[in-house]
């Protein structure tokens, strides 16, 4: 059961080539992506309507895609425009196409009713394409349901334990209580810790002589996108003082692949003036190392859940945000179901 009336990130822009095809599955639907000669990204169902062969094993031809099994040719709207050996093509020969928007280097697909696709619902992932911010793009594939990863991102108390040697470095993070505020389609979460050592992760950016204050302020938005301002500052220094402060901006998003696997697109950007290519690479490597720590823990958690038995979870104060977000998702799922059934009912009257 997935939300469908929303934009999911299906790829980084550079993953969809100007020549060639990209196959990727989103909320259970296998998609094939390619660019028309104008560079516009098209997303079609990755299964030929003839004998069900995946179109991604075919060939990109101009604005079209040819099935590699029997040669049917489809345009960017999914309409079949050529069948070998047939004079005219039956109009019913078509595959589903999906609305696509390319926005700040993320390629989004709309998995619900195309008529309801709404660009105003795109997140403000500005630092993915901004002259003042620099990053290296990241991707991880998870063999767990997206919800467990969202839980992880909604409770940073795990930084003290899972990421002790990377992003964390202090038990104070787990002891702090974040401020949680409902916002349009999501939550705003703000966590501050005072007088802690700089985390090992900061070493790629700069060293601090003593304790610093740190903050993690982020929005977590439907379907599962994190947009975060985080940083650390020498105690007593003025906010914005570049000599005593580190400030980062991060965009991360979870796209369910199937019920039990998830795409994770992420970046953590640093200001362009702070460092060079080596800084960017160091930050990226540190982030990947930390996210592998998450992946190992969440994978183990999912395996433990898979053993069955009593699966009740005892909730604690640290779970406040993740419980609120789970309820938000439930409400949206109910709203989609109601809309679909209402729509079906009125269609039935026609």
The residues that touch a copy of itself, with contacts defined as CB under 8 A, are 25, 28-30, 46-47, 49-54, 57, 66-71, 83-86, 90, 92-93, 151, 155, 157-158, 160-162, 171, 174-177, 296-297, 300-301, 303-305, 307, 309, 311, 313-319
Nearer to a copy of itself by C-beta: 176 or 251? 176
Closest separation between CB of residue 280 and a copy of itself, Å? 30
- Please tell me the distance from the alpha carbon of residue 143 to that of residue 42, in angstroms, as a whole number: 27
SS3 assignment, position 71: coil
Closest separation between CB of residue 127 and a copy of itself, Å? 29
Cα of 104 vs its chain's centroid, Å: 13
- Please tell me the distance from the alpha carbon of residue 249 to that of residue 243, in angstroms, as a whole number: 18
Closest separation between CB of residue 157 and a copy of itself, Å? 6
Closest separation between CB of residue 172 and a copy of itself, Å? 10
Nearer to a copy of itself by C-beta: 112 or 123? 112
Helix (H) or strand (E) holding 295: helix 277-306
Closest separation between CB of residue 165 and a copy of itself, Å? 12
- Please tell me the distance from the alpha carbon of residue 20 to that of residue 38, in angstroms, as a whole number: 14
- Please tell me the distance from the alpha carbon of residue 287 to that of residue 204, in angstroms, as a whole number: 11
Nearer to a copy of itself by C-beta: 121 or 176? 176
Nearer to a copy of itself by C-beta: 297 or 340? 297
Q: From 53, 49, 51, 54, select the one nearest 25 (Cα to Cα).
A: 54
Nearer to a copy of itself by C-beta: 94 or 234? 94
Nearer to a copy of itself by C-beta: 46 or 336? 46
Closest separation between CB of residue 332 and a copy of itself, Å? 23
Burial class, 191, CB count within 10 angstroms (exposed 0-12 / middle 13-18 / buried 19+): buried
In the numeric block, which tokens belong to residue 256?
């369910």
Report yes or no: 32 and 65 within 8 Å, Cβ to Cβ: yes
Nearer to a copy of itself by C-beta: 51 or 141? 51
Closest separation between CB of residue 303 and a copy of itself, Å? 7
**Any residues with CB less than 8 A from the CB of 271 and at least 6 apart, and which?**
132, 133, 134, 247
**Any residues with CB less than 8 A from the CB of 49 and at least 6 apart, and which?**
72, 80, 93, 94, 95
Report yes or no: 121 and 223 within 8 Å, Cβ to Cβ: no
User: CA 127, 13, 145 angle in degrees (round to 5)?
Assistant: 85
Closest separation between CB of residue 335 and a copy of itself, Å? 24
Nearer to a copy of itself by C-beta: 47 or 105? 47
């Amino acid at each position: 059961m997935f939300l469908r009336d929303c934009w999911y990130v299906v790829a980084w822009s550079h993953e969809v080539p100007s020549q060639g095809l990209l196959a990727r599955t989103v909320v259970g639907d296998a998609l094939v992506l390619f660019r028309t000669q104008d560079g516009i990204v098209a997303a079609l169902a990755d299964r030929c309507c003839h004998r069900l062969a995946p179109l991604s094993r075919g060939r990109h031809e101009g604005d079209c895609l040819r099935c590699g099994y029997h040669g049917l040719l489809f345009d960017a709207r999914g309409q079949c425009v050529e069948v070998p050996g047939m004079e005219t093509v039956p109009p019913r020969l078509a595959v589903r196409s999906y609305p696509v928007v390319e926005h700040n280097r993320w390629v989004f697909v709309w998995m619900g009713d195309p008529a309801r696709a709404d660009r105003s619902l795109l997140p403000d992932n500005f630092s993915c394409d901004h002259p003042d911010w620099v990053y290296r793009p990241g991707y991880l594939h998870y063999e767990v349901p997206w919800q467990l990863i969202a839980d992880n991102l909604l409770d940073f108390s795990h930084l003290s334990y899972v990421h002790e040697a990377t992003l964390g470095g202090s038990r104070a993070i787990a002891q702090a209580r974040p401020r949680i505020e409902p916002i349009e389609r999501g939550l705003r979460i703000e966590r501050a810790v005072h007088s802690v050592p700089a985390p090992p992760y900061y070493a790629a950016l700069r060293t601090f002589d003593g304790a610093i204050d740190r903050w993690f302020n982020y929005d977590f938005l439907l379907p599962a996108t994190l947009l975060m301002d985080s940083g650390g500052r020498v105690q007593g220094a003025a906010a914005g003082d570049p000599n005593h402060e580190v400030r980062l901006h991060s965009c991360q998003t979870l796209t369910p692949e199937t019920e039990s696997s998830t795409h994770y697109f992420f970046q953590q950007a640093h200001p362009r003036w702070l460092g060079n290519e080596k800084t960017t690479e160091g930050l990226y490597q540190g982030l990947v190392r930390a996210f592998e720590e998450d992946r190992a823990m969440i994978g183990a958690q999912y395996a433990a859940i898979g053993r069955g038995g009593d699966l009740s979870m005892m909730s604690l104060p640290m779970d406040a945000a993740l419980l609120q977000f789970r309820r938000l998702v439930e409400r949206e799922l109910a709203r989609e179901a109601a809309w679909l059934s209402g729509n079906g009912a009125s269609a039935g009257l026609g």
